[in-house]
């Protein structure tokens, strides 16, 4: 017979606030794997394409690869550590998530997103097993399984549900030891990896639905996702013209334009300051994403907010091409500073120019990202379909459990 473990009955449960200490005592080899991952994350090597990094080139951001590497790390830590039940596994994942968030995950929200997705899979598998057991024993779902199938309404206080939940806020089924549960979770993680691998393929299959013949499409800077999306439409015999804003100060738009033109696409590069002037001739704007927030807002490359404002003024639709792994359960409480990084202004102005006495009273800001309000975005094209910004909150509820949204803060 399966037994239910209480939180206090197991003294080996990892502490989410100090996962490193738990790994050091019980799994020193796993701690070294985590340390190596964190060093590469801090140095920015995980978010740069591996081929470019090996050749010493600047390369472009590869956050899909970063998300995949994170899932593979979690697969190792989950598959070869000992935990007895779903409750212990959730504590382990919460601890790893907090550790990664502290060392660099706050700048790369895709890391926390995939951890939350695995945590949601753990919760789902635990509850599905409970529901299946109830149906098998009674031939119909019990009231208990129905109530636990979804999170309780937020208006219920903890004291009002003590009869249903333990001190950890989880149903008793989460403390049930089941030998097959680890294999089930490993299969769920494998499915997540497959979804990540098929992200670009599933997005590109929709290219003809959003790129029409003889359109003029404007994009900003360098984005591998948009580059592949445009090339997918072109290979399917769809003729169109692309206007690429150069994306100062990194000038990634030049590399983007070169790649598109080499593929045979009619491409023009324009200065960022000319965006408003050319917008009247544009049919559609395609933007990349660093993260999509809970309110439907978009975090993307610095300079894209200018493009979105110009498009809104000219009534040009703005479409964001993004993988589901970039959906982030965060609200833009800090406005334009949400998920913001400030880098050295050396890419904007040289040190010799700063020696000018007139520059002493000038403050130089070089932000990496822009926040674009949801009313400036018309559509999000993802690997599972296209959605309006107002539907993003529903997608978050389908992919992450609400109790895990702020697990790493």
Residue 124: name the closest of 148, 144, 107 by CA. 148
Average pLDDT in the chain: 84
**According to the model, what pLDDT value does residue 129 have?**
67
Least confident of 96-110, 137-151, 235-249: 137-151
Is 133 found in the same domain as 40? yes
Host domain of residue 17: 7-152+162-197
Beta carbons within 8 Å of 156's beta carbon, 6+ residues apart: none
Higher-scoring residue by pLDDT: 219, 153? 219
Q: Is residue 142 part of a domain?
A: yes
Q: Is residue 288 part of a domain?
A: yes
Mean pLDDT of 209-227: 95
> Within 10 A of 245 (CB to CB), how many other CB atoms are there?
27
Is 261 found in the same domain as 176? no
Q: Which stretch, 35-44, 144-153, 234-243, has highest mean pLDDT?
A: 234-243
Task: Judge residue 356's burial from the number of C-beta atoms within 10 Å of its C-beta, 0-12 exposed, 13-18 middle, 19 or more buried.
Answer: exposed
305-to-46, 320, 378 alpha-carbon distances in Å: 27, 12, 14
Is 257 found in the same domain as 210? yes
46-to-52, 63, 112, 226 alpha-carbon distances in Å: 12, 8, 15, 20
Mean pLDDT of 250-278: 95
% of the chain residues with pLDDT over 90: 61
Q: Is residue 70 part of a domain?
A: yes
Confidence of residue 14 (pLDDT cuts 50, 70, 90): confident
CATH of residue 371's domain is 3.40.50.10470
Helix 28-42 and helix 19-26, axial crossing angle in degrees, nearest 10:
140
**According to the model, what pLDDT value does residue 292 have?**
96
Confidence of residue 132 (pLDDT cuts 50, 70, 90): low
Least confident of 13-27, 48-62, 111-125: 48-62
Strands 284-287 and 266-270: unpaired
Confidence of residue 62 (pLDDT cuts 50, 70, 90): confident
**According to the model, what pLDDT value does residue 164 have?**
35
Is 235 found in the same domain as 128? no
Beta carbons within 8 Å of 232's beta carbon, 6+ residues apart: 204, 205, 207
Q: Which stretch, 120-129, 163-172, 356-365, has highest mean pLDDT?
A: 120-129
Confidence of residue 396 (pLDDT cuts 50, 70, 90): very high
Please identify which residue in the block is written with the tokens 């499409």.
217
HEC assignment per residue over the chain: CCCECCHHHCCCCCCCCCHHHHHHHHCHHHHHHHHHHHHHHHCCCCCECHHHHHCCCCCCECHHHHHHHHHHHHHHHHHCCCCCCHHHHHHHHHHHHHHHHHHHHCCCHHHHHHHHHHHHHHHHHHHHHHHHHHHHHHCCCCHHHHHHCCCCCCCCCHHHHCCCCCCCCCCHHHHECCCCHHHHHHHHHHHHHHHHHCHHHHHHCCHHHHCCCCEEEEEECCCHHHHHHHHHHHHCCCCEEEEEECCCCCCHHHHHHHHHHHCCCEEEEECHHHHHHHHHHCCEEEECCCEECCCCCEEEECCHHHHHHHHHHCCCCEEEECCHHHECCCCCCCHHHCCCCECCHHHCCCHHHHCCHHHHHCCCCCECEEEECHHHCCEEEECCEEECHHHHHHHHHHHCCHHHCCCCC
Predicted structure pTM score: 0.83
Q: Is residue 409 part of a domain?
A: no
Q: How many Å apart are CA 304 and CA 371, to the nearest integer?
A: 8
Q: Is residue 157 part of a domain?
A: no
Is 331 found in the same domain as 207? yes
Is 215 found in the same domain as 191? no
Is 301 found in the same domain as 237? yes
Q: Are 103 and 391 in contact (CB under 8 A)?
A: no
Taking only the tens place, the pLDDT of each residue in 373-392 is: 999 999 999 999 999 999 99
Least confident of 76-90, 149-163, 377-391: 149-163
- The total domain count for the chain is 2
Q: How many Å apart are CA 241 and CA 181, to the nearest integer?
A: 52
Is 182 found in the same domain as 124? yes
Does the pLDDT at position 10 exceed 70?
A: no
Residue 308: name the closest of 392, 207, 389, 205 by CA. 389
Taking only the tens place, the pLDDT of each residue in 87-127 is: 999 999 999 999 999 887 778 899 999 999 999 999 999 98
Is 235 found in the same domain as 187? no
Q: Is residue 405 part of a domain?
A: no
Q: Is residue 62 part of a domain?
A: yes
Is 245 found in the same domain as 185? no
Does the pLDDT at position 53 exceed 70?
A: no
**According to the model, what pLDDT value does residue 49 have?**
58
Q: Are 223 and 256 in contact (CB under 8 A)?
A: yes
Is 185 found in the same domain as 230? no
Mean pLDDT of 284-290: 96
Q: Is residue 385 part of a domain?
A: yes
Dihedral sign, Cα of residue 280, residue 281, residue 283, residue 289: negative
Confidence of residue 284 (pLDDT cuts 50, 70, 90): very high
**According to the model, what pLDDT value does residue 28 have?**
93
Strands 240-245 and 266-270: parallel
Is 171 found in the same domain as 91? yes
Q: What are phi and psi of 59, to 5 degrees?
A: 70, 175
Taking only the tens place, the pLDDT of each residue in 172-182 is: 899 998 889 99
């Amino acid at each position: 017979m399966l037994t239910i473990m209480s939180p206090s009955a197991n003294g080996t449960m990892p502490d989410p606030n100090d996962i490193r200490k738990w790994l050091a005592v019980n799994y020193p080899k796993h701690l070294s794997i985590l340390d190596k991952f964190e060093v590469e994350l801090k140095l920015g090597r995980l978010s740069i394409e591996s081929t470019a990094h090996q050749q010493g080139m600047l390369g472009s951001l590869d956050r899909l690869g970063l998300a995949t590497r994170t899932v593979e790390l979690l697969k190792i830590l989950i598959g070869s550590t000992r935990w007895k039940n779903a409750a212990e596994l959730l504590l382990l994942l919460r601890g790893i998530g907090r550790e990664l968030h502290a060392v660099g995950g706050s700048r790369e929200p895709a890391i926390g997103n995939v951890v939350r997705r695995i945590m949601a899979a753990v919760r789902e598998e635990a509850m599905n097993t409970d529901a299946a057991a109830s149906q098998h024993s009674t031939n119909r779902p019990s009231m208990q399984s129905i109530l636990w199938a979804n999170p309780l309404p937020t208006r219920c206080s903890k004291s009002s549900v003590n009869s249903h939940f333990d001190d950890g806020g989880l149903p008793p089924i989460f403390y049930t030891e089941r030998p097959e549960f680890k294999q089930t979770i490993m299969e769920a993680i494998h499915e997540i990896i497959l979804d990540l691998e098929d992200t670009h393929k599933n997005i590109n299959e929709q290219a003809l639905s959003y790129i029409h013949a003889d359109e003029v499409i404007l994009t900003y800077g360098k984005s591998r996702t948009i580059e592949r999306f445009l090339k997918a439409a072109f290979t399917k015999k769809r003729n169109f013209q692309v206007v690429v804003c150069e994306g100062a100060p990194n000038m990634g738009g030049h590399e983007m334009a070169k790649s598109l033109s080499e593929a045979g696409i009619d491409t023009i590069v324009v200065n960022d300051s000319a965006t408003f002037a050319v917008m009247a001739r544009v049919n559609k704007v395609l933007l990349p994403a660093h993260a999509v927030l809970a309110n439907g807002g978009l975090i993307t490359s610095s300079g894209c907010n200018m493009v979105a404002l110009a498009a809104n003024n000219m009534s040009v639709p703005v479409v964001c091409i993004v993988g589901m792994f970039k959906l982030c359960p965060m609200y833009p409480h800090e406005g334009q500073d949400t998920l913001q990084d400030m880098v050295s202004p050396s890419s904007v102005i040289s040190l010799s120019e700063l020696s000018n006495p007139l520059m002493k009273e000038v403050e130089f800001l070089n932000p990496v990202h822009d926040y674009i309000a949801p009313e400036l975005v018309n559509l999000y094209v993802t690997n599972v379909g296209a959605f309006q910004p107002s539907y993003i909150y529903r997608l978050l509820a389908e992919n992450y459990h609400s109790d895990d949204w702020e697990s790493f803060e």
